Structure 1
Amino acid sequence: MTLIREAEWLYRHLSDEHVLVMDCQFDLSNENKGRERYQKEHIPSAVYADIGKDLSSEVSEHGGRHPIPSREAFIRFMQRSGVNQDTIVIAYDGGEGAFAARFLWLSQLYGYEQVYVLNGGLKAWKEQGYPLTVDEPVIKSSAYRPAGNKDILAFYEEVKELSIGQRKGLLIDSREEARYKGLYEPIDTKSGHIPNALNYEWMGNLADGLYLEKNQLISRFQEINTKTPITVYCGSGITACVNYVALKQAGYQEVKVYAGSFSDWISYDENPVDTK
């Protein structure tokens, strides 16, 4: 089972009644740029999903820099977007991959099954010469509510146990190696990584914005047994979702995201960080 759809597939199915396109363009350095880019150009019929407002909740003492929205808040957003039980949702971003992956993981967490990321995002779509628009769709809201959550969210207590070897599984840090090693930290107040975590940079799953082929992803994670429970994290729970998608593509069944990630971990003063 794949979590990815190609631009050609979306182009052929763009007018299908049950296909809904979700634009997740965003800029972590300027929270308004994503919507501005959407208003400038987007795939026809696409609905806009704001990472900061729709796919995150208010920042508090704990929970990291991009806490996930509540189940009720996310379902209300999906209802306003017109997502029904039989809707196939294709999410894309500017081509970075991380924002669409966050939408996919969050959708799966709250029980939406038919959600995919557009391989290469808007960049791949434009390279194919497919149409763009500035028109925003007229949306007919939905009353659909998924039955329940999936077990793909790692809670702080679980990560704490993984960090000291008291829980079965593997912890993966998705950030670039220099941040993992604590050589520099551009955002958070502490540098380094959660103890016991291995480093698999999220960008290593992509080549020119496109996900590696399945056999390449299998090779990338070949040192990890496919039956091993895996928890992925990053700085704030966004780029880790690319590793989530990649691991699922490679055939790993038990994959969770620590949504608060490193920014949540260091919000507890007593928690150690490692640089080895």
Structure 2
Amino acid sequence: MNYIIEKEWLLEKMKDENVRIVDCRFALGNPIKGQQEYEQGHIPGAVYFDLEKDLSGEVQTHGGRHPLPDLDVFIGKLEEAGIDENKVIVAYDNGEGAFASRFWWMLTYLGHEKVYVLNGGYKEWLAANYPTTTEVQVFEKGNFTKNIQRELLADVEEVRKIASGRNPGTVLIDSREEKRYLGIEEPIDKKKGHIPGAVNKQWMDGLEKGRFKPAAQQSARFSDLNRQNEIVVYCGSGVTAAPNFLTLKEAGFDNVKLYLGSFSDWISYKDNEIE
């Protein structure tokens, strides 16, 4: 499958009434930066979706640092942006891939079949001297019909079975950088290490200079995995695991789930073990 599109395609299609563009730029250490960048300039026709205000719900005891938002509220925001299940959706960030991939996963989870991530993001768009604007376009309200794909989401109970060896046909992938996986350092969460049994596939290895690597290279990244196995990916809070989910699908893996609560949810349960 092809879930990543190039800037040349979007340049040609951006005025198409059936295309909606979503700006997902965000900075984890500076949560207002993405909105500011959008206001300073964005791809014409793009609407802004904020990781923490729109793509995440309120942080609670469990669920992780970026839990799912109330889906009815989220769908209402999609509809205000003129998005329905028939529109072609293109999401972009600054080229990190993680924030646009989070939006892509959420739309895919809702059953949308025509959602893509812009390769190279806004940085590559700017470098090509493609048009930008500060105008915020208003669209006629859409009517989004959800079709939840529950098989794309793993919860903590399922991950417990994997970690305890009770689900030997499933591979658990930790998408964080190696130092966090090994527990050498942990800059964000209160505990260090990884979920027992997880293998490390760093999400940033799927990109090079702000671009997703081609499908053949993604297949090579995951060549040690059995395509018949179920795969569950996680990270710290369900954001940087999304590019791994996306690239696994690009590489032709069919049975992939996201543990959206990820490590920050796992450690919220005192009885969960850590390696």
Same fold, judged at TM 0.5 (above): yes
Q: Structure 2: which amino acid aligns with 1:157?
A: E
Q: Please list, as runs of the form range in 1=range in 2, the aligned pairs for 1:242-253 lying within 5 A after superposition.
A: 242-253=243-254
Does the 8 Å contact 1:95/1:122 carry over to 2?
Answer: yes
Give the CA deviation at 1:115.
0.5
Do the aligned residues in 2 keep the contact of 1:57 with 1:68 (CA within 8 Å)? yes
Deviation for aligned residue 1:227: 1.6
Distance 2:240 2:65 in 1: 13
SS at match of 1:230: strand
Cα offset for 1:177? 0.2
1:27 Cα shift? 0.8
Q: Separation in 2 of the partners of 1:64 and 1:111?
A: 23
Q: TM-score by structure 2 length?
A: 0.98
> What pairs with 1:120-269 in structure 2 (closer than 5 Å)?
120-167=120-167, 168-269=169-270
1:85-110 CA deviation, whole Å, 9 max, x = no partner?
A: 32000000011110000000011111
> Counterparts of 2:152 and 2:144 in 1: how far apart (Å)?
21
For residue 69 of structure 1, report the CA deviation from its aligned partner: 1.2
Provide structure 1 residue ranges, at least 5 long, that are not aligned to the other structure: none
1:73 corresponding residue in structure 2: 73
**Quick one: distance in 2 between partners of 1:183 and 1:84?**
45
State the distance in 2 between where 1:107 and 1:74 align. Answer: 10
Tell me by how many angstroms 1:146 deviates: 2.4
Corresponding residue of 1:27? 27
The letter for the 1-side match of 2:12 is R
**2:41 aligned residue:** 41
Within-5 A mapping of 1:44-59 = 44-59=44-59
Question: Percent of counterpart pairs with the same letter?
Answer: 47
SS in 2 for 1:231: strand
Letter in 1 for 2:253: Y
- Output the CA distance in 2 between the equivalents of 1:85 and 1:229: 27
Letter in 2 for 1:65: R
List 4+ stretches of structure 1 deviating above 2 A. Answer: 146-150
Q: Which amino acid aligns with 2:79?
A: Q
Q: Secondary structure at the match of 2:248?
A: helix
| Matching residue's letter, 1:87 | K
Aligned-residue CA RMSD in angstroms?
A: 0.9
| Other structure's SS at 2:162 match | helix
Deviation (angstroms), 1:148: 3.3
Q: Which residue of 1 is the match for residue 89 of structure 2? A: 89
Question: How many residues end up aligned between the 2 structures?
Answer: 274
Query: Distance between the aligned counterparts of 1:148 and 1:271, measured in 2?
Result: 28
Q: Given that residues 81 and 138 in structure 2 are in contact (C-alpha distance below 8 angstroms), is that contact kept between their aligned partners in structure 1?
A: no
Once the two structures are superposed, residues 206-252 of structure 1 have per-residue CA deviations (whole angstroms, 9 ceiling, x without a partner) of: 00011111111111100101121100000000000000000000000
- Contact conserved, 1:11 with 1:130, CA < 8 A, in 2? yes
SS of structure 2 residue aligned to 1:122 = helix
One-letter code aligned to 2:10: L
Q: Separation in 1 of the partners of 2:115 and 2:74?
A: 14
Q: CA deviation at 1:75?
A: 1.3
Check 1:270–1:148 CA distance in 2 against 1; reply closer, same or farther (3 A cut). closer
TM-score using structure 1 length: 0.97
